[in-house]
A and B are shown apart, each in its own frame.
Chain A
Amino acid sequence: MQTLVRPLHQGVKSALQDVTPTRLRLLVFLNCFCAILFAFAAVTTVQQHHHAVQTVGVDAAPSVIAASEIKIGVEMMDTDLAEDLLYTPGQQEALDVEQDFEKWRTLVSKQLVIAAKNITYGKTEQVPIENIQVALGQYLMQVQNVRDLHKAQEDAEALPAYRKSLETVKTLLLPAADALNKANADVLETIYAEEKSATNLSRGFVLLTGLILIAVLMYTQIFLSVRFRRRINLPMLITTICVALFLQKLGTALGDNSRFLKVAKEDSYNSIFSLLNARADAYAANAAQSRWLLDSNRAEIYEKEFADKAGLVARFDRGHDFKETLARARNQLANNEALNLPGLSGSMADELANARFPGEAQAAMQALESFGDFCDLESKMRDMKSSAERRYAMLLYLGYRPSQSKYAFSKFDDALERTLQINQDQLQHSVDEALHNLDGLSVGAQLIALLAVISTCLGLLPRIEEYVHCSPKPRH
């Protein structure tokens, strides 16, 4: 043991005593160690950034969107079924509604496949997808039964059958879609919060190791210049410049990556999440409205359901309403101010507070305005309680004229779709840019480390050799 400790002790002692060959060997070790540490830190940090972007933009966000689309599709299938029952069998409008039902059924099936293909978090995602798949088959059979009874003019039996299908929607399909949504949304939020602090920390560490490497390379350069009267050590100089340039590129790329990730998560995804929630709740309110017309025995339940769901989209404190809030928002936009709408809460309030991209605030305001019109028409409809008025209420609900409910709802949906599209495009763009930013950085860091090791050998070994062979070096 003593024989092992002694050379080490002597080495440390001579390094401290500034013996040139020992100091040179120490510099070789230090340069190589710092280069390898830098490469390790850089590769780890790049992988961490990649993982964060992959989780937010590729793994979780599309699954959250797919889950919301499933929820919206199911709500619309229910609305179409209720409306189907409001029309006489064989009527053109009834056929249109059936076609619309098919459109939503296809969308749900496609989104289910997208969600299944994107299972990343195991059973928390797989189980809800399986439940949706099983419940969807059951629901479609119940829908067919309702339709058959309605076509056979057996409406007295069709309504309980409809209620049964509605129960499947409410107890199986929507909770499973919510569970799928929650599984991905929770993971996304957790990983984003973790990765955000971790990536900042690791970015700081990689920049620190890079600066240490540059400092060691520069110290070596100065040491050689003073001790050997050789002004420049070319391999070391080239490496120092390469490390400095790469560090600058790495710092910029990682900074840009974090910025793009922030845009993707906080600006785009959060808006998408709010918009999808607004859309799902608005569709649920719309479905409640159709059920209010269809099932008058349970009108109070559906009226409350409408109020609850509409309140999740946009709710106003006392003294505030759609008109006042929209006027304030327009004024703020005209003055290029950030939107600050006191008294408004709900998904649309979240979206308006997070409107960041060109045209987004305008589209969201149009959606809010149309939703206001839709709610106004709904309250008019609620006042028509007698059977004669109820017929007029049906026209008001089912009509596509500017003063009718479907028109306002379609306008709301179009504006919401435009707002969603703006955010989805930005999300995709940010994720692509964030991933593109990291291209080649891992390989670059490894090459830089290799260059530093090679140049250290090329730059320092000939100087160490002088002390071994004592031979005069050729002049330059």
Chain B
Amino acid sequence: MQCEQTDCEGDVIDGVCQSCEATKSSSPRGAARLQRVSMSLQALKEPQESERSTDDLLRASEELKTIVPDNYDAWRAQADLWLAAVHQLETRQIQSDDTVKLMGVPLVEDRLRDSAEEALRQCAHFASTVEIRVSLIDEANRIRRATWF
């Protein structure tokens, strides 16, 4: 039996589409992929003397696109992707380029900040404690672009 979701040709076994299940971050396969992406994003945040390319960010973005964010770690990973990009833009390791898109967001500082803020706020919904939630909203407010009001 085939999955009824559009753009999915996965097989349905015991009422569960094997292909769709694999994309969920809460599934064992999804979690493993997420951990891999998270580690690569941590490496991207670390300082580097030479100029970076956007390839690493794009690779991480492609990987994350295949994961449906339905838990804390998935939203955190999305936020980390955009935070890493913002960090690299701030430190002039990469240049702004609105033709390059990370998870559909152009590589422009303000747009990345907006998305990172939104992801962190989404992440806060899944926070296990009040302290973590408060620190996530603080981080969202710290990363958001400065506005007048």
Identify the A interface with B (CB < 8 A): 19-21, 227-234, 466-467, 470-472, 475-476
> Which B residue's beta carbon lies closest to that of A471?
B121
Establish whether residues B134 and A234, one from each chain, have CB atoms under 8 Å apart when the complex forms.
no
Establish whether residues B133 and A472, one from each chain, have CB atoms under 8 Å apart when the complex forms.
no
Known contacts A229-B142, A470-B121, A470-B125: does B134 contact A21 (CB below 8 Å)? yes
Residues of chain A within 8 A of B138, CB atoms compared: 20, 227
Establish whether residues A470 and B141, one from each chain, have CB atoms under 8 Å apart when the complex forms.
no
Q: What are 14 residue pairs bridging A and B, where the CB atoms are less than 8 Å apart in the complex?
A: A21-B134, A230-B146, A230-B148, A230-B149, A231-B148, A231-B149, A470-B121, A470-B122, A470-B125, A470-B133, A470-B136, A472-B117, A475-B114, A476-B147
**Bound Cα distance from A228 to B149, whole angstroms:** 10
Residues of chain B within 8 A of A475, CB atoms compared: 114, 147
Which residue from A19, A470, A476 sits with its C-beta under 8 Å from B124? A470
Establish whether residues A20 and B137, one from each chain, have CB atoms under 8 Å apart when the complex forms.
yes
Residues of chain B within 8 A of A471, CB atoms compared: 121
Establish whether residues A230 and B147, one from each chain, have CB atoms under 8 Å apart when the complex forms.
yes
> Which A residue's beta carbon lies closest to that of B131?
A19
B129 to nearest A CB, angstroms? 13
Known contacts A21-B134, A229-B144, A466-B137: does B149 contact A234 (CB below 8 Å)? yes
**Bound Cα distance from A232 to B134, whole angstroms:** 22
Establish whether residues A233 and B149, one from each chain, have CB atoms under 8 Å apart when the complex forms.
yes
A228 to nearest B CB, angstroms? 5
Establish whether residues B134 and A472, one from each chain, have CB atoms under 8 Å apart when the complex forms.
no
Known contacts A470-B124, A470-B125: does B149 contact A476 (CB below 8 Å)? yes
Q: Mark B110-134, 1 if CB is under 8 A from A, else 0.
A: 0000100110011011000000011
> Which A residue's beta carbon lies closest to that of B144?
A229
Residues of chain B within 8 A of A229, CB atoms compared: 141-142, 144-147
**Chain B facing A: main interface SS:** helix
Top 4 A-B pairs, shortest CB-CB distance:
A470-B124, A229-B146, A476-B149, A472-B121
**Bound Cα distance from A229 to B141, whole angstroms:** 7
Known contacts A229-B144, A475-B114: does B137 contact A470 (CB below 8 Å)? yes
Establish whether residues B121 and A231, one from each chain, have CB atoms under 8 Å apart when the complex forms.
no
**Chain A facing B: main interface SS:** loop
Number of interface residues of B (CB under 8 A): 21
- Looking at B133, B138, B141, the one whose CB has the most chain A CB atoms below 10 A away is B141
Residues of chain B within 8 A of A231, CB atoms compared: 146-149
Establish whether residues B137 and A232, one from each chain, have CB atoms under 8 Å apart when the complex forms.
no
Residues of chain B within 8 A of A21, CB atoms compared: 134
A238 to nearest B CB, angstroms? 12
Establish whether residues A467 and B134, one from each chain, have CB atoms under 8 Å apart when the complex forms.
yes
Establish whether residues B144 and A467, one from each chain, have CB atoms under 8 Å apart when the complex forms.
no
**Bound Cα distance from A394 to B140, whole angstroms:** 105
Residues of chain A within 8 A of B114, CB atoms compared: 475
B127 to nearest A CB, angstroms? 8
A25 to nearest B CB, angstroms? 12
**Bound Cα distance from A363 to B114, whole angstroms:** 81
Residues of chain B within 8 A of A476, CB atoms compared: 147-149
**Bound Cα distance from A232 to B146, whole angstroms:** 10
Residues of chain B within 8 A of A472, CB atoms compared: 117-118, 121, 140
Establish whether residues A467 and B133, one from each chain, have CB atoms under 8 Å apart when the complex forms.
yes
A207 to nearest B CB, angstroms? 31
> Which B residue's beta carbon lies closest to that of A228?
B141
B113 to nearest A CB, angstroms? 9
B9 to nearest A CB, angstroms? 35
**Bound Cα distance from A230 to B133, whole angstroms:** 20
Known contacts A20-B134, A467-B133, A472-B121: does B147 contact A227 (CB below 8 Å)? no
B56 to nearest A CB, angstroms? 27
**Bound Cα distance from A471 to B120, whole angstroms:** 10
Residues of chain A within 8 A of B140, CB atoms compared: 472
> Which A residue's beta carbon lies closest to that of B142?
A229
**Bound Cα distance from A128 to B139, whole angstroms:** 79
**Bound Cα distance from A466 to B142, whole angstroms:** 13
**Bound Cα distance from A228 to B118, whole angstroms:** 14
Residues of chain A within 8 A of B144, CB atoms compared: 228-229
Residues of chain A within 8 A of B137, CB atoms compared: 20, 466-467, 470
Residues of chain A within 8 A of B149, CB atoms compared: 230-234, 476
Residues of chain A within 8 A of B146, CB atoms compared: 229-231
Residues of chain B within 8 A of A230, CB atoms compared: 146-149
Within 93-125 of B, Cβ neighbours of A (below 8 Å) are at: 114, 117-118, 121-122, 124-125
> Which A residue's beta carbon lies closest to that of B127?
A470
**Bound Cα distance from A325 to B104, whole angstroms:** 100
> Which A residue's beta carbon lies closest to that of B119?
A472
A188 to nearest B CB, angstroms? 56
**Bound Cα distance from A476 to B114, whole angstroms:** 12
Residues of chain B within 8 A of A470, CB atoms compared: 121-122, 124-125, 133, 136-137
Residues of chain B within 8 A of A466, CB atoms compared: 121, 137, 141
Residues of chain A within 8 A of B122, CB atoms compared: 470
Q: Mark B64-97, 1 if CB is under 8 A from A, else 0.
A: 0000000000000000000000000000000000
B135 to nearest A CB, angstroms? 9
**Bound Cα distance from A224 to B142, whole angstroms:** 11
> Which B residue's beta carbon lies closest to that of A229?
B146
Further pairs besides A229-B144, A229-B146, A232-B149: 19, Cβ < 8 Å? A19-B134, A20-B134, A227-B141, A228-B144, A229-B147, A231-B147, A231-B148, A231-B149, A233-B149, A466-B141, A467-B137, A470-B121, A470-B124, A470-B133, A470-B137, A472-B118, A476-B147, A476-B148, A476-B149
